[in-house]
C-alpha cells in the first residue's frame, strides 16, 4: 500500500553530495527525506577515493622498502600479502562508514528510505512503497564506471573500480584499458604490490593534464616497470589462456583486466523526463545548479560537471544556501582543484598553461618553482617536480603542481583563486621552514623578482634613497 510523505527537501542519493545536502539542510531546520537504494556513502567511500587511496598507501609501503639506497637504507624485497592489503582497504572503509551511516543521519533528523527513487510527476518521487512530495528535490545520484562497447568484453571477467577491491589474490599481470587518473593510479599501485602491469590508452595517457607534468608522472611509472601503450585503441577482447586485448598496435595478454575509461552519470531509471528535467551528460543545470524544473537541483557528478568528491561537497554548500536560506548562490569552477595520487602526485587548479594561453594570449605570465631548489625536498630526497602558476594582471588563473604532496600544495592556489587574491598574498605568506609549502611562496617570488631586481627604475630609486638616508 502506497504511503505519501510530504517534506521540504527530498535528496536522491546518499553519496558525498547528497549526504552533505541532507546534513546541512536538516541541521538548519528543514525537513529532509533521503533516498538511497544502494550503499550509504556512495562511490567515494565504497569503490573510489577511500579504497583506492588505502591501496595506494599499502603500495607505497612496499615501494619504500626498495627505494631507500640514496638515504643509506639497503633495499629489501617486500613480502606483499595482497589479501592483507585488501583487508587494510576494507578497514579504512569500515572506519569511515559510521560517518555516512543511516543511523547517523537518522540521528540528525533525516528520514532515510533505503529504496531507489524515480520521478512520477514534476514534484513527486516514487521510492518503493512511498511517494515523496517535496517542495524541492536534489538529484545526487553520482556516477558509475563507463563500460565501452568493445567487442568481446562481455565474454571475459573484467574488473571496474566497483569490483577491483573485492580481489583477494594478486593479479599476475593486470591489463588496464584507460590511461586516465584511475587507470594510472591503479597501475602504479599494483606494480608496487608485485604485479606486472600494462596500460592501454587510445589517446594520450593523462591527456587532460599539463603535458610537461604528465610526462614526469608517466616517466616514473615506466621506470618502475609499468608498460604504458599510448595511441592503442582497444578493438577486441578475447578470453581463453588469459585475457587478450587487441589493438592497432598489437595484442596484449594478461591474467586480469581493469576497465577504467571514464564515468557515466547515474540518471537511468530516474524518469527525469516525467518531471520536465532536461539531461545531457547529466542533469542540465545553470550555475545555480537548478534544472529546467526549478524545484529540482543536481549536485556532484549528476550535475554533469567535474566528477570529484570535493566538487560534490562544494555543490552541496551552494545548494543548501539556496534551499535552506533562500539565498542566491552560484557554483563556480575556476578555483576547483583536481589531483592524481600517483608518486609523484599531479594536481591542477584552474587553467593549465595551454588553456590560459588560449584564453589570455600575450597577457599571460607563467612563473615556476622547482622541487630541486626546495630544502625540504632535498632533505627528503623528493626533488622531482615543479610548481607552475599562470598569472594575468597580478592574479593567478591556474596552477599546475607535480611532485610530492602536490594535492596538498594545490589547496593554497584554490584559496587564492576563489577569493580573487593577487600573487602578493602568496608572497606575503610565511611558511614553516623547511616545508614543501615554501614552493608556493617561491613561485610567487618568481613573479615579483624580475619586477624588483631587473628593473632600472627600481635601481635608480634605491640608489637615490641610499644617498639621501642619513
Q: What is the pLDDT of residues 292-319, one digit of tens each?
A: 999 999 999 999 988 999 999 999 999 9
Q: Where in the chain is the domain with CATH 3.30.390.30?
A: 337-453
Closest CA to 213 of 384, 440, 335: 384
Give the pLDDT confidence score for residue 462 in this predicted structure: 82
Rounded average pLDDT over 359-383: 97
118 pLDDT higher than 90: yes
454 pLDDT higher than 80: no
348 pLDDT higher than 80: yes
- pLDDT over 70, % of the chain: 100
Give the pLDDT confidence score for residue 24 in this predicted structure: 97
Give the pLDDT confidence score for residue 19 in this predicted structure: 98
pLDDT tier at 61 (50, 70, 90 boundaries)?
Answer: very high
Burial 11-22 (b: 16+ CB within 10 A, else e): bbbbbbbbbbbb
452 pLDDT higher than 80: no
Q: Does domain 337-453 have CATH number 3.30.390.30?
A: yes
469 pLDDT higher than 90: no
Give the pLDDT confidence score for residue 461 in this predicted structure: 85
216 pLDDT higher than 90: yes
Give the pLDDT confidence score for residue 465 in this predicted structure: 87
Rounded average pLDDT over 184-213: 98
Rounded average pLDDT over 165-174: 97
425 pLDDT higher than 80: yes
pLDDT tier at 451 (50, 70, 90 boundaries)?
Answer: confident
Rounded average pLDDT over 205-221: 98
- pLDDT over 90, % of the chain: 93
Question: Which architecture characterizes domain 3-40+101-145+264-325 according to CATH?
Answer: 3-Layer(bba) Sandwich (3.50)
Write down the pTM of the prediction: 0.94
Q: Where in the chain is the domain with CATH 3.50.50.60?
A: 3-40+101-145+264-325, 153-261
Peptide bond between residue 215 and the one before it cis (omega within 30 degrees of 0): no
Q: Does domain 153-261 have CATH number 3.30.499.10?
A: no
pLDDT tier at 408 (50, 70, 90 boundaries)?
Answer: very high
Give the pLDDT confidence score for residue 356 in this predicted structure: 98
Q: Give 218-253 pLDDT, tens digit per residue.
A: 999 999 999 999 999 999 999 989 999 999 999 999
Closest CA to 247 of 145, 178, 196, 185: 178
320 pLDDT higher than 80: yes
HEC profile of the chain = CCEEEEEEEEEECCCHHHHHHHHHHHHCCCCEEEECCCCCCHHHHHCCHHHHHHHHHHHHHHHHCCCCHHHCCCCCCCCCCHHHHHHHHHHHHHHHHHHHCHHHHHHHCCEEECCCCEEEECCEEEECCEEEEEEEEEECCCEEECCCCCCCHHHCCCECCCCHHHCCCCCCEEEEECCCHHHHHHHHHHHHCCCEEEEECCCCCCCCCCHHHHHHHHHHHHHCCCEEECCCCEEEEECCCCEEEEECCEEEEECEEEECCCEEECCCCCCHHHHCCCECCCECCCCCCECCCCCEEECHHHHCCCCCHHHHHHHHHHHHHHHHHCCCCCCCCCCCEEEECCCCEEEEEECCHHHHHHHHHHHEEEEEEEHHHCHHHHHHCCCCCEEEEEEECCEEEEEEEEECCHHHHHHHHHHHHHCCCCHHHHHHCCCCCCCCCHHHHHHHHHHHHHHHHCCHHHHHHHHHHHHHCC
Give the pLDDT confidence score for residue 458 in this predicted structure: 79
Amino acid at each position: 500500500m502506497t504511503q505519501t510523505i510530504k517534506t521540504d527537501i527530498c535528496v536522491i542519493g546518499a553519496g558525498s553530495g547528497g549526504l552533505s545536502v541532507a546534513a546541512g539542510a536538516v541541521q538548519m531546520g528543514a525537513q529532509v527525506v533521503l533516498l538511497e537504494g544502494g550503499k550509504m556513502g556512495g562511490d567515494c567511500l565504497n569503490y573510489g577515493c577511500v579504497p583506492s587511496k588505502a591501496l595506494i598507501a599499502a603500495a607505497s609501503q612496499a615501494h619504500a622498502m626498495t627505494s631507500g639506497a640514496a638515504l643509506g637504507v639497503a633495499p629489501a624485497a617486500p613480502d606483499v600479502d595482497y589479501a592483507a592489503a585488501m583487508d587494510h582497504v576494507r578497514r579504512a572503509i569500515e572506519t569511515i562508514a559510521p560517518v555516512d551511516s543511516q543511523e547517523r543521519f537518522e540521528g540528525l533528523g533525516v528520514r532515510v528510505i533505503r529504496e531507489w527513487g524515480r520521478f512520477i510527476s514534476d514534484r513527486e518521487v516514487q521510492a518503493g512503497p512511498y511517494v515523496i512530495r517535496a517542495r524541492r528535490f536534489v538529484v545526487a545520484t553520482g556516477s558509475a564506471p563507463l563500460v565501452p562497447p568493445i567487442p568481446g568484453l562481455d565474454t571475459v571477467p573484467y574488473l571496474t573500480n566497483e569490483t577491483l577491491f573485492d580481489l583477494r589474490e594478486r593479479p599476475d599481470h593486470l591489463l588496464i584499458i584507460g590511461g586516465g587518473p584511475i587507470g594510472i593510479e591503479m597501475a602504479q599501485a599494483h606494480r608496487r604490490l608485485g604485479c606486472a602491469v600494462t596500460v592501454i590508452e587510445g589517446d594520450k595517457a593523462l591527456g587532460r593534464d599539463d603535458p610537461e607534468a604528465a610526462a614526469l608522472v608517466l616517466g616514473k611509472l615506466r621506470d618502475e616497470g609499468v608498460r604504458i601503450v599510448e595511441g592503442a585503441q582497444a578493438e577486441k577482447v578475447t578470453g581463453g589462456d588469459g585475457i587478450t586485448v587487441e589493438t592497432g598496435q598489437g595484442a596484449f595478454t594478461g591474467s586480469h583486466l581493469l576497465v577504467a575509461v571514464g564515468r557515466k552519470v547515474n540518471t537511468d531509471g530516474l524518469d527525469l523526463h516525467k518531471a520536465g528535467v532536461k539531461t545531457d551528460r547529466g542533469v542540465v543545470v545553470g550555475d545555480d545548479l537548478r534544472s529546467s524544473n526549478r524545484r529540482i537541483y543536481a549536485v556532484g557528478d549528476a550535475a554533469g560537471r567535474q566528477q570529484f568528491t570535493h566538487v560534490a561537497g562544494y555543490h552541496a554548500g551552494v545548494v543548501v544556501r539556496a534551499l535552506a536560506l533562500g539565498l542566491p548562490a552560484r557554483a563556480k569552477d575556476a578555483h576547483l582543484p583536481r589531483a592524481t595520487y600517483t608518486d609523484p602526485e599531479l594536481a591542477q587548479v584552474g587553467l593549465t598553461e595551454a588553456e590560459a594561453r588560449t584564453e589570455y594570449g600575450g597577457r599571460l605570465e607563467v612563473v615556476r618553482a622547482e622541487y630541486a631548489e626546495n630544502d625540504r625536498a632535498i632533505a627528503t630526497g623528493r626533488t622531482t617536480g615543479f610548481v607552475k602558476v599562470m598569472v594575468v594582471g597580478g592574479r593567478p588563473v591556474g596552477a599546475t603542481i607535480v611532485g610530492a604532496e602536490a594535492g596538498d600544495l594545490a589547496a593554497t592556489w584554490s584559496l587564492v583563486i576563489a577569493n580573487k587574491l593577487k600573487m602578493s598574498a602568496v608572497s606575503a605568506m610565511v611558511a614553516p621552514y623547511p616545508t614543501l609549502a615554501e614552493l608556493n611562496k617561491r613561485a610567487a617570488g618568481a613573479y615579483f623578482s624580475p619586477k624588483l631586481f631587473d628593473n632600472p627604475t627600481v635601481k635608480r630609486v634605491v640608489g637615490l634613497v641610499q644617498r639621501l638616508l642619513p
